[in-house]
Structure 1
Amino acid sequence: MRVLIAPDKFAGTLTAVEAAEAMAEGWRRQAPEDQLDLCPMADGGPGFVDVLHNSLGGSVLAATVRGPFGEPTPATILLCDHTAYVESAHACGRHLLGDGDPEAASTHGVGELIGHAVDAGATEIVVGLGGSGTNDGGAGLLAALGANADEPLDQGVAGLVGLTRLDLSGAVDRVAGVRLVAASDVDSPLTGLFGATKTFGPQKGIAEERLAVVDGVLQDFAEVADRRLALAKGAGAAGGLGYALLLLGATRTPGIDLVAQAVGLRSRAEQVDLVLTGEGAFDFSSRSGKVPYGVAQVAAEALRPCVALAGKVMIGSREMRVLGVESAYAMAELVGEERSYADPAGALSELAERVARSWSH
């Protein structure tokens, strides 16, 4: 039997590459004769560069950029021919916030990474958006590339209060001749009820009573920059990083679609009998551009069944069918939550072994 293993990361425990290897290890214990094709996936968030490097090869360039609060932060850029892949979470991810004030967190480092990619000769730069701890509308990114304003653009959303003038010409010139692509699983606009702040602000640590105030600051920012683009799909991705990229002429594409095309997921699915996917928490939000849903759609188009393995499964069989998944299995139900966190690779491997008993010929 031929099996394609295409999981996302298990957030906080396993990278997508580690998850794929753990699933393969368990499957082989039960069905050693099966042929396994490991295809780790990402949707633009954490793990984006590693997944693409795993499949595409290319050169990994090391860089040190400013973190959310200005601290030196190591990051990498993947260069494949003349296309550079940048992971925004490297420079402004939630894991970098610590106890810092999210309203002071800046995306300056992401702009630095784009600048390094330009200097490396890239004619196309794909920026993976996701997992950010920032909510500055991408102002820091713009500042790093040469934008100017009458208020500091590199001090987080807090620095944008009172902004009345914004000059993007320096940033536009810096990326002239370069095709920018914003890879994101988020369709949110920049502001409003379903915007960056109201939707994702709480998980970044912005207090409930501050949400309306912060959203108002971004609305004022958009009035100065470009109100129309603030309403575009994906403008609210990564706390508004999507908006900054759109201001610079970027095109937006779902991250899962971009990765699927880059790794040849469709052709690989057509060559197997079963597709396995997975993520840390499998719930109905997975339909919003997440890896399991994207993989399941590709499997369905290839007329192949898709099975999901997850840390937790929080939907029933009817919802699974809507997502295109035949069955879903949870590590927590097999070995308990405590062991799932203490030994995630071992628990996932054991779960894959159990699933192989039911699904391998």
Structure 2
Amino acid sequence: MRVLVAPDKFAGTLTAVEAADAIAEGWRRRAPGDELDLAPMSDGGPGFVDVLHATLGGELLGVTVEGPHGERVPATVLLAGDTAYVESAQACGLHLIEGGAEHGSTMGVGELVAAALATPATTIVVGLGGSGTNDGGGGMLSVLGATSDGVMEVGGVNLHTVTSVDLAPARARVAGRRLVAATDVDIPLTGLFGATKTFGPQKGIDEDLLVELDAKLEQYAAAVDRRLALEKGAGAAGGLGFGLLALGAERVSGIGLVADAVGLAERARAADLVVTGEGAFDFSSRSGKVPYGVAEVAAEALRPCVALAGAVLVGSREMRALGVESAYSLVDLVGEEIAFADPAGSLADLAERVARTWSR
């Protein structure tokens, strides 16, 4: 039997590569004769560059950029053929923030894009997801040359000071390159389903600040281009999607881009079963997340898809609406404490159990 193993990261515990290896280890215990094809995935968030490098090869260029609070942090640019890939979470990820995301800056993402511009790449892809910022890409734009009459550089709390923005210098800097924003969500910048209201609480922003910060983003958007604020993906990574769209970027699905890069459709057609996974499998997985994207590819190949997750937070009806035949939970198998203490071992144990049902 041929099994395609295509998980996302298990946030905070396992990278996508580690998750794929753990699933394979457990599966082989139960079904050593099965042929496993490992295809670690990403939706544009943490692990985006590592996943693409594992498949595409290429050259990793180490750089040091400004973190969300002004500290210097390590990051990489992947140069593969004529395309440079960067991962915004390396510069402004949730793991880097202290306190609420309202004070986090995306200046480091601007430095990453600048590093990519210094390569011969004709296309620059920015993976968006897992950010610890909410500044509408203001920090990134300022590093690339945009100017304003207010403060864009030090987080969303100051965006109300911005009433006009000159994007011409930043647009000139990226001219002649194809700029791509690979997003994990398709939300707008502001409003009830925008960046602040949807993801602010997960980023440590106090509930009583959400309306105020959203209003500041609205004013900033009016100074840049209010129309772009409504575009799909504008709210990705705390509004980094909006900043990239303002520079003329093309927005694509992060999971779609990675799936194409790793040849997922062809590999699914060659498999009998597709296995995916992520830390928390819930209905938000439908908005550009890896399990839904992998399940779509499996469905097009007429192959069943099952999911392994830290926690499964949907019922069977919702699961099937996401294209997944069955989903299995680490927490249900071993308990939350053990799942976090030994995530790789627990995931391997879960995969072994799933193989009992699904392997021939």
Alignment TM-score > 0.5, same fold: yes
- Give, as a single letter, the amino acid of the residue that structure 2 aligns with 1:51: V
Distance 1:199 1:315 in 2: 19
Q: 1:183 aligns to what SS in structure 2?
A: strand
Distance 2:187 2:64 in 1: 30
Q: Which string of whole-angstrom CA distances, capped at 9 and with x for unpartnered residues, describes residues 215-239 of structure 1?
A: 1111111111111111111111111
Distance 2:290 2:337 in 1: 25
Question: Could you say which residue in structure 1 is the equivalent of 2:305?
Answer: 306
Question: Could you say which residue in structure 1 is the equivalent of 2:53?
Answer: 53
- State whether residues 152 and 162 of structure 2, in contact with CA within 8 Å, keep that contact through their aligned partners in structure 1: no
Distance 1:320 1:224 in 2: 42
- Give, as a single letter, the amino acid of the residue that structure 1 aligns with 2:18: E
Q: Which string of whole-angstrom CA distances, capped at 9 and with x for unpartnered residues, describes residues 111-157 of structure 1?
A: 11000001012211111110001111100000110111112221111
Question: Could you say which residue in structure 1 is the equivalent of 2:113?
Answer: 114
- Give, as a single letter, the amino acid of the residue that structure 1 aligns with 2:80: C
Distance 2:322 2:298 in 1: 11
Give the Å deviation of 1:103: 1.9
Residue 354 (structure 1) aligned with residue 356 (structure 2)? no
Distance 1:43 1:202 in 2: 21
Normalised by the length of structure 1, the TM-score is 0.98
- Give, as a single letter, the amino acid of the residue that structure 2 aligns with 1:260: A
Q: Which string of whole-angstrom CA distances, capped at 9 and with x for unpartnered residues, describes residues 6-26 of structure 1?
A: 000011100000000000001
Distance 1:162 1:4 in 2: 51
Q: Which string of whole-angstrom CA distances, capped at 9 and with x for unpartnered residues, describes residues 42-95 of structure 1?
A: 101111111111111111110000100111111111110110111000000111
RMSD: 1.0
Give the Å deviation of 1:162: 2.2
Give the Å deviation of 1:158: 2.2
Question: Could you say which residue in structure 2 is the equivalent of 1:94?
Answer: 94
Q: Give unmatched runs, 5+ long, in structure 1.
A: none
- Give, as a single letter, the amino acid of the residue that structure 2 aligns with 1:255: G
- State whether residues 3 and 272 of structure 2, in contact with CA within 8 Å, keep that contact through their aligned partners in structure 1: yes
Distance 1:299 1:144 in 2: 41
- State whether residues 79 and 121 of structure 2, in contact with CA within 8 Å, keep that contact through their aligned partners in structure 1: yes
Question: Could you say which residue in structure 1 is the equivalent of 2:132?
Answer: 133
- Give, as a single letter, the amino acid of the residue that structure 2 aligns with 1:160: L
Distance 1:306 1:103 in 2: 39
Distance 1:163 1:317 in 2: 48
- State whether residues 185 and 289 of structure 2, in contact with CA within 8 Å, keep that contact through their aligned partners in structure 1: no
Distance 1:141 1:112 in 2: 7
Distance 2:233 2:102 in 1: 21
Question: Could you say which residue in structure 2 is the equivalent of 1:70?
Answer: 70
Residue 31 (structure 1) aligned with residue 31 (structure 2)? yes
Question: Could you say which residue in structure 1 is the equivalent of 2:82?
Answer: 82
Distance 1:73 1:162 in 2: 28
Residue 343 (structure 1) aligned with residue 342 (structure 2)? yes
Deviates more, 1:199-208 or 1:48-57: 199-208
Q: Number of aligned residue pairs: give it.
A: 360
Deviates more, 1:317-326 or 1:237-246: 317-326
Q: Which string of whole-angstrom CA distances, capped at 9 and with x for unpartnered residues, describes residues 219-266 of structure 1?
A: 111111111111111111111100000000001011111110010000
- Give, as a single letter, the amino acid of the residue that structure 2 aligns with 1:103: E
Distance 1:177 1:90 in 2: 25
Q: Give unmatched runs, 5+ long, in structure 2.
A: none
Q: 1:161 aligns to what SS in structure 2?
A: helix
1:185-334 maps to which residues of 2 (within 5 A)?
185-334=184-333
Give the Å deviation of 1:159: 2.7
Deviates more, 1:308-317 or 1:159-168: 159-168
Give the Å deviation of 1:160: 2.1
Q: 2:346 aligns to what SS in structure 1?
A: helix
Deviates more, 1:137-146 or 1:311-320: 311-320
Distance 1:13 1:145 in 2: 34
Q: 2:10 aligns to what SS in structure 1?
A: coil
Distance 1:309 1:51 in 2: 19
- Give, as a single letter, the amino acid of the residue that structure 2 aligns with 1:337: E
Deviates more, 1:37-46 or 1:320-329: 320-329
Give aligned-pair identity as a percent. 69
Q: Which string of whole-angstrom CA distances, capped at 9 and with x for unpartnered residues, describes residues 95-121 of structure 1?
A: 10123x422211000011000001012
Deviates more, 1:315-324 or 1:252-261: 315-324
Deviates more, 1:201-210 or 1:269-278: 201-210
Give the Å deviation of 1:186: 1.3
Q: 2:133 aligns to what SS in structure 1?
A: coil
Deviates more, 1:350-359 or 1:13-22: 350-359
Deviates more, 1:287-296 or 1:159-168: 159-168
- State whether residues 45 and 89 of structure 2, in contact with CA within 8 Å, keep that contact through their aligned partners in structure 1: yes
Distance 2:318 2:130 in 1: 25
- Give, as a single letter, the amino acid of the residue that structure 2 aligns with 1:132: S
